[in-house]
C-alpha cells in the first residue's frame, strides 16, 4: 500500500445525487404508487444501501492511498458498516415479504429507515459491550501502573457513557403510550438521540480502524528528514519511556534505510520546554541520539513547540530552510500516528508516520484521548455532517407518521 501518493482524492459527490434519486423513488412508491407492492420499495432500499456501502469501501481504499491522515477516512469506514447493517435489515424484510406478501405495506419502509439509528445501536451493542469491558480492564491496569491522574480515567468515563447511553435508549424506547402526537414526539426525541449516538459510534469505529492502519504502516526508505515528536522528559532531563520508544523507533528506521539504500537522513528533534522540565524535550532527544552514535551534523533541534501542531509547523519551517522538496517522515507513539498525520496536513506538510510501541494498558486510553482530539480538531465538519444526519431522521420520523 502506497500512502501519501499523488493520486486523485476520492470524490463522493455522486452519492448525493444517488441519495436524492433513491429518496424520491422510495417516497413516490410509499405515498403515490399505492398499487405497487412494498417489495418494490424494499428493493430500492437494498440496491441503494448496497451501492452506498461499496462506494464507501472503495472511497476508503482510495483515500488511504491519497492521504491516510484524513477525517474522511474514518467517516468512510464507520458509515460503510452502518450501510451494511441496513442492507442486512432490508434483506431480512424482503425475506418476510416474499414469504408473507401481505405482512407489511410500503409505508413500513419508512418506519425501518426512521428507526435505523436505534436498530444499529441494538445490533452493535455486543461490540459496545466488549469494547467498553476491554477499555475498563486496560484503564484499571493503567491506573495501577501510572497513578490516579484524571487523564487515566478517560477510558472508564467513555465506557460508562457508551454503555449507559445504549441502556438509557432501550429503557426509554421500550414502551411509549399516549396520543399519536405524544408518541411521535417521543420517537422524534429518541431518533435524534440515537442519530447522535450513531454518528459518534461510527466515528469511533472508523478512528480505531484508521489508527491501527496508520500505526502499522512502514514508510518507504527514501526519506530526507525524520521528525521525532516530543512528549515529556524526566526530572533529570532524560527521555521518559514513551519518548525513548519514539526515538528508538526513529533510529530503527534510520538504520534500516541506511542498510537498504545507503541514504542518510537528518533527525529533527521537536519539542519545547515544559513548566516543570529542566531542559527542552528537543535537547533531551538530541543527547540521546548523540549517545547512540548519531553525528551532530545529522540533528536539527526544534525547541519552541508546545503541541503536536506546533511540532509539525515549526519542524516544517526548519526543514524547508534546507530543502522545500524534502521527503519527510515522523516518529511518534502508535496511538498518536493518525492524529499527528492530520496535523501535519493542517500545517501543509506532506509526511508519513511510523508508530513506536507502547504498553498494552496504555494504548486504549491514549487512543480514546486521540479520538477526542480528532473530534475537537474538526468541529465545523462534524457539526455539518451531524446536523445533516439529525435533519434526515427528523424528516423520516415525521413522514413515517403520515
Q: How far apart are CA 204 and CA 246, in angstroms?
A: 25
Q: What pLDDT band is residue 274 in, cutting at 50, 70 and 90? A: confident
Cell numbers placing 155? 477510558
Length of the chain: 402
Residue 232 has pLDDT above 70, yes or no: yes
What pLDDT does residue 91 have? 93
Query: If you write DSSP's letter for every residue of 259-323 in order, what string do you get?
Result: HHH----EEEEE----TT-SS-HHHHHHHHHHHTT--GGGEEEE----SHHHHHHHHHHHHHHH-
Task: Tell me which residue of 374, 110, 398, 354 sits closest to 246, measured CA to CA.
Answer: 354
Q: Which three cell numbers stand for residue 168?
A: 438509557
Mean model confidence pLDDT for the chain: 88
Residue extents of the structural domains in the chain: 13-217+378-400, 225-326
Among 118-132, 148-162, 207-221, 259-273, whose mean pLDDT is lowest? 148-162
DSSP 78: H
Query: Residue 338 pLDDT > 80, yes or no?
Result: yes
pLDDT of residue 149 exceeding 90, the answer is no
Give the separation between CA 315 and CA 227, rounded to whole angstroms: 7
The DSSP bridge partners found for residue 333 are 356
Looking at domain 225-326, its CATH superfamily turns out to be HUPs (3.40.50.620)
- Given a contact cutoff of 8 angstroms between Cβ atoms, the answer to whether 45 and 100 are in contact is no
At residue 14, does pLDDT exceed 90?
no
Give the pLDDT confidence score for residue 252 in this predicted structure.
96
Output Rg (C-alpha) for the chain, integer angstroms.
25
Q: Is the pLDDT of residue 8 over 70?
A: no
Least confident of 38-52, 157-171, 223-237: 157-171
- Winning range, highest mean pLDDT, from 13-17, 213-217, 244-248: 244-248
| Residue 68: pLDDT over 90 | no
List, edge to edge, every strand of the sheet that includes 266-270. 299-302, 266-270, 225-229, 328-333, 351-356
pLDDT category, 302, cuts 50, 70, 90?
very high
- Picking from 263, 262, 205, 247, the residue whose alpha carbon sits closest to that of residue 354 is 247
> Is it the case that residue 392 has pLDDT exceeding 90?
yes
Helix, strand, or coil (residue 333): strand
Binned at pLDDT 50, 70 and 90, residue 84 comes out as very high
Residue 362's pLDDT is what? 75
pLDDT on residue 36:
65
Assign 182 to helix, strand or coil.
helix
* Single pTM value for the model: 0.85
380 pLDDT band, cuts 50/70/90, is: confident
Residues 6 or more apart whose Cβ sits within 8 Å of residue 87: 46, 49, 50, 53
pLDDT band at 317 (very low <50, low <70, confident <90, very high): very high
Strand partners, 303: none
Amino acid at each position: 500500500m502506497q500512502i501519501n501518493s499523488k493520486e486523485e482524492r476520492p470524490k463522493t459527490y455522486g452519492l448525493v445525487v444517488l441519495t436524492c434519486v433513491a429518496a424520491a423513488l422510495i417516497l413516490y412508491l410509499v405515498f403515490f404508487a399505492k398499487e405497487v407492492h412494498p417489495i418494490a420499495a424494499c428493493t430500492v432500499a437494498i440496491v441503494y444501501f448496497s451501492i452506498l456501502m461499496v462506494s464507501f469501501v472503495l472511497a476508503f481504499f482510495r483515500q488511504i492511498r491519497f492521504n491516510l491522515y484524513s477525517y474522511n477516512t474514518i467517516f468512510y469506514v464507520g458509515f460503510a458498516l452502518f450501510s451494511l447493517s441496513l442492507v442486512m435489515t432490508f434483506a431480512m424484510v424482503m425475506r418476510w415479504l416474499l414469504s408473507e406478501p401481505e405482512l407489511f405495506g410500503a409505508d413500513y419502509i419508512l418506519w425501518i429507515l426512521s428507526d435505523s439509528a436505534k436498530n444499529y445501536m441494538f445490533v452493535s451493542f455486543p461490540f459496545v459491550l466488549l469494547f467498553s469491558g476491554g477499555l475498563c480492564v486496560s484503564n484499571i491496569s493503567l491506573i495501577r501502573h501510572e497513578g490516579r491522574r484524571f487523564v487515566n480515567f478517560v477510558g472508564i468515563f467513555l465506557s460508562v457513557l457508551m454503555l449507559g447511553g445504549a441502556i438509557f435508549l432501550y429503557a426509554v424506547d421500550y414502551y411509549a403510550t399516549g396520543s399519536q402526537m405524544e408518541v411521535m414526539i417521543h420517537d422524534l426525541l429518541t431518533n435524534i438521540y440515537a442519530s447522535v449516538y450513531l454518528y459518534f459510534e461510527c466515528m469511533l469505529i472508523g478512528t480505531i480502524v484508521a489508527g491501527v492502519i496508520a500505526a502499522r504502516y512502514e514508510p518507504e526508505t527514501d526519506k530526507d528528514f525524520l521528525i521525532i515528536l516530543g512528549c515529556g522528559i524526566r526530572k533529570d532531563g532524560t527521555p521518559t519511556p514513551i519518548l525513548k520508544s519514539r526515538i528508538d523507533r526513529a533510529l530503527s528506521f534510520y538504520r534500516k534505510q541506511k542498510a537498504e539504500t545507503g541514504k542518510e537522513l537528518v533527525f529533527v528533534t521537536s519539542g519545547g520546554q515544559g513548566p516543570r522540565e529542566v531542559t527542552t524535550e528537543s535537547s533531551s532527544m538530541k543527547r540521546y541520539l548523540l549517545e547512540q552514535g548519531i553525528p551532530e551534523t545529522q540533528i536539527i533541534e526544534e525547541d519552541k513547540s508546545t503541541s503536536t501542531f506546533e511540532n509539525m509547523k515549526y519542524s516544517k519551517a526548519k526543514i524547508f530552510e534546507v530543502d522545500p522538496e524534502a521527503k519527510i517522515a515522523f516518529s511518534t507513539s502508535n496511538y498518536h500516528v493518525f492524529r499527528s498525520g492530520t496535523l501535519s496536513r493542517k500545517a501543509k506538510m506532506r509526511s508519513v508516520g511510523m508508530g513506536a510501541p507502547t504498553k498494552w494498558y496504555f494504548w486504549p486510553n491514549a487512543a480514546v484521548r486521540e479520538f477526542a482530539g480528532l473530534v475537537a480538531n474538526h468541529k465545523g465538519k462534524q457539526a455539518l455532517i451531524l446536523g445533516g444526519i439529525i435533519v434526515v431522521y427528523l424528516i423520516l420520523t415525521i413522514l413515517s407518521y403520515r
